[in-house]
Structure 1
C-alpha cells in the first residue's frame, strides 16, 4: 500500500494585516516539504490546482517540475488537474516533461473540479461541465496511447495526424480519476480501467463503501485485470506527537478555511464539535498522533481495499513546522507501522 501526502498550497491569512501570506513564501515552503517527504520514504506527493487568493498554486506541473530536481524516489502527481478547463494536449506535454525530468515518476490525477473559478478564467461555460470533462478525458487518454493522433470533438479544434511531444518515459503516464462521490464518475473510471481516488473529507467514511463496490463491479464487468486495479482515498489531516495538542492547535486554521469556503457555498459555521467528531474512528479527519493515524489508515484500507492513501495536510495553512513534523511522522512512524501490519 502506497502512502503519501497531498496539498493545495493554502496560504495563511493574517487577520490583523488583513492579508494572505505571500505566495512566494508558501511555494518555497512547499518545496522544502516535498524534499522531506522524499527523504523520509513517502511514496507519493500530490499538489492541486486553484485560482483563488487563499491558495498559492495554480499550475501543479510547475511545482512538480521544481520538485523533480530535488527528489529521487517519490511519485509526483497533480491532485488534481481540472481537466475540463484546460487543454489535454498541453496537460500531456507538461506532465510528460515532468516525467522526463524525474526519470519516470510523474502521474496525472484529473477531476471535473469542485471549485469552478477556472471555468470563466479560461473561457469555458459551466453549462458544459460534464461534456467538457468527458471529451477532454477521451482526448488525454488517446494522446497517452498514441504519439500521432487524429481526433475530433465538440469543444476543441480537431487534430489531424498531429504528433504530441515530448513522450513520457516508457511512452506512458498513469492517469488517475479523482471523484467526490458521484456514481457516474465512479462508473466512468471503472469502465475505462483507470485508477480511482475518492476524496473523503466529511461525513462518515463508511458511507462511501457502495462507491468502492460499484467501481470493483464495473471494473470487472468491463473485463479489466483485477491484479492491476488501484484504489485510493484522500482525506484531510495533520499529525503531532500529542493528539489533543495538535487538534487544539490545528482547529482554528481548519475552521477558518472551512468558513471561507463555506461562505461561498452557504455552509453553516464550522464548529469544534464537528472537528472532534471528524477525528473519531468513524469520522473523516485524520488528525492525531501516530498511533491514531496508523489505526485509522488500516481501518480504511480494510474497509475499502485501498492500494494508496493520501493525507491532505495543508487545509487552512497550518504552520510550516507542523507540516514538516507531520511529514516526518508519517514517513518514519506511520508508514512503517502500516506496512508491518499489512505484512509488507
Structure 2
C-alpha cells in the first residue's frame, strides 16, 4: 500500500478574520512536499479551489514547482475539477509535469465538492453531471492516442488534432475521485480507472458496500486485477502525544468545518463528533504514531487499499506543525504500517 499526503493549500485564518497570504503559504507548501519526499512517502496530491480560504487554484503549477525540489514522490492532483476544465489543456499541463518529474505525475479527476469554478469558467450547474461525463470521455481518449477526432456538446470538435506534449510512456495515470455515490463508483469500475474515495466523516464501515461494488464491477468489466488500485482520502494529523495533538488541532478543524458548513446548512461542529471520528469507528486519523498506524492498517484490512492519502492541512495548521506531522508520518507511522503489511 502506498502512503501519501493530500492537501488543499488551506490558508491560516486568525480569530479576527485575517487570512494568511498565498504568497506566504505557497513557499511553505513546497517545503512540505520536499520533506515528504525526503522521509520516503509515496504520493503527494494537491487540490483545486477558487475561494479566498485556499491558496491553490491550479494544481499543475504547484506540481511543476514540486517536481523541481523532489526526486521520488509521485505528484498528483487531488482533485482537478474536470467538469469546468478543458481536457486538452489539462492533459497538456499534466504531461508537462510528467516530463519535468521524469514520469512521476498523476491526474486525479473529480466533479468537485465546491461549485465556484462553474460560473468562473462559464458553465451551467444544471450541466454538472453531463459535463463530467463528456469531458472524462475526451480526456481518456487523449490519454490513449496523440491524434484525435472527437465531437461533443460542450466544446468545439477536434478534427484530426494532435495533442502535444505527450506524457512519459505516452500515457498518464488517471484516477477518479468520488465522494460516495454508487454511480461514480460504477463509472470508475467500468472504465478500469483507479478509485480514490473521500471518507471524511461518519463511520467508514458504511462505505464498505461501495468498495465491494467497485471490485465486483471492475472484475465483471474484464479488467486485470494486477492493475486494480483503490485508495481513501481521510482527514489526518500526527503528533508525538495523541491527546495533546487532538486538543491542539480541534479548534482549527472545527473552525474550518463551521466555515464550510455555514453555506451548506450544517450544524455547528461538536467536540463529540471529533472524538467519535478519532475512535476506532470513525474516519479521522488524528493522534500519535501508534494510534494512526493502527487505524491506517484497519482501513487497509477493511477495504483492500492500495493507497492511503492523509489529508493534512484542514483548517490551516501552522507550517511548523505540518512539518512535524510529515516527519512523524514518514519516520514513525509509515515504517509501522509497512512492517505490518510485510508480514
Cα shift at 1:70: 0.3
Which string of whole-angstrom CA distances, capped at 9 and with x for unpartnered residues, describes residues 15-53 of structure 1? 23x320001111111000000000000000000000111
- What's 1:244 paired with? 243
- What's 1:57 paired with? 56
- What's 1:97 paired with? 96
Which string of whole-angstrom CA distances, capped at 9 and with x for unpartnered residues, describes residues 117-137 of structure 1? 100000000000000000000
- What's 1:145 paired with? 144
Q: Within the alignment, does 1:2 sit opposite 2:2 as a pair?
A: yes
Distance, in Å, in 1 between the alignment partners of 2:237 and 2:321 is: 8
Q: Within the alignment, does 1:339 sit opposite 2:338 as a pair?
A: yes
Distance, in Å, in 1 between the alignment partners of 2:176 and 2:6 is: 15
Alignment of 1:1-344 (within 5 A): 1-16=1-16, 18-343=17-342
With the length of structure 1 as denominator, give the TM-score of the two structures.
0.99
Runs of 4+ with >2 A deviation: none
Which string of whole-angstrom CA distances, capped at 9 and with x for unpartnered residues, describes residues 57-85 of structure 1? 00000000000000000000000000000
Distance, in Å, in 2 between the alignment partners of 1:138 and 1:285 is: 34
Cα shift at 1:241: 0.1
Distance, in Å, in 1 between the alignment partners of 2:112 and 2:327 is: 30
**Matched residue of 1:303: which SS?**
helix
**Matched residue of 1:119: which SS?**
helix
Cα shift at 1:166: 0.3
Distance, in Å, in 2 between the alignment partners of 1:94 and 1:19 is: 33
Equivalenced residue count is 343
Distance, in Å, in 2 between the alignment partners of 1:134 and 1:103 is: 30
**Matched residue of 2:44: which SS?**
strand
Which string of whole-angstrom CA distances, capped at 9 and with x for unpartnered residues, describes residues 166-198 of structure 1? 000010100000000000000000000000000
Distance, in Å, in 2 between the alignment partners of 1:272 and 1:32 is: 32
With the length of structure 2 as denominator, give the TM-score of the two structures.
0.99
**Matched residue of 1:19: which SS?**
coil
Over the aligned positions, Cα root-mean-square deviation in angstroms equals 0.7
Cα shift at 1:329: 0.9
Cα shift at 1:113: 0.8
Unaligned runs of 5+ residues in structure 2 are none
Distance, in Å, in 1 between the alignment partners of 2:212 and 2:133 is: 22
Unaligned runs of 5+ residues in structure 1 are none
